[in-house]
């Protein structure tokens, strides 16, 4: 009897939520391929979120980050004291930031 790990359960849930289930020949192969890709993506390393409440703040001034507050996630940058919106020309402070993470870099070889 095979016991599924939490990640395997997440991959399976993603599959059933995203792909219509059919009775076609090859359905199990498609499911395995999609769940394997999902798991490989998790293992490749997703962005690490940092909690502002833990005072886990960026050390680099001027770099752009993904910043979340209770309403949305946006691109902003750290000015050394607070997160500032990167979308506003007049540079406005991001209200009540909760967390931030590095923006993953695009690698054309991936």
Q: What is the pLDDT along the chain (110 residues), one digit of tens a residue?
A: 456 788 888 888 888 887 777 666 677 887 888 888 777 777 666 677 899 999 999 998 988 888 998 888 888 889 999 999 876 655 788 899 999 988 776 565 54
Report the C-alpha gap between 11 and 34 in whole angstroms: 8
Structure tokens at 64: 């752009």
pLDDT of residue 83: 92
Q: What pLDDT, on a 0 to 100 scale, did the predictor assign at position 1?
A: 47
Q: What pLDDT shows up at residue 98?
A: 93
Residue 34's pLDDT is 81
Q: In the chain, which residue ranges form alpha helices assigned H by DSSP?
A: 6-18, 27-43
Q: What is the pLDDT of residue 54?
A: 92
Task: Point out which residues pair with 83 in neighbouring strands.
Answer: 78
- Cα separation, 34 vs 14, in Å, equals 9
């Amino acid at each position: 009897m095979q016991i599924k790990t939490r990640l395997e359960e997440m991959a399976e849930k993603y599959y059933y939520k995203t792909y219509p289930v059919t009775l076609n020949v090859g359905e199990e192969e498609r499911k395995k391929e999609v769940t394997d890709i999902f798991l490989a993506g998790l293992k490749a390393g997703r962005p690490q979120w940092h909690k502002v409440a833990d005072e886990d703040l960026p050390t680099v001034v001027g770099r752009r980050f993904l910043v979340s507050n209770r309403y949305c996630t946006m691109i902003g940058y750290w000015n050394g004291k607070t997160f500032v919106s990167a979308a506003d020309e007049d540079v406005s402070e991001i209200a009540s930031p909760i967390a931030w993470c590095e923006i993953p870099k695009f690698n054309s070889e991936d």
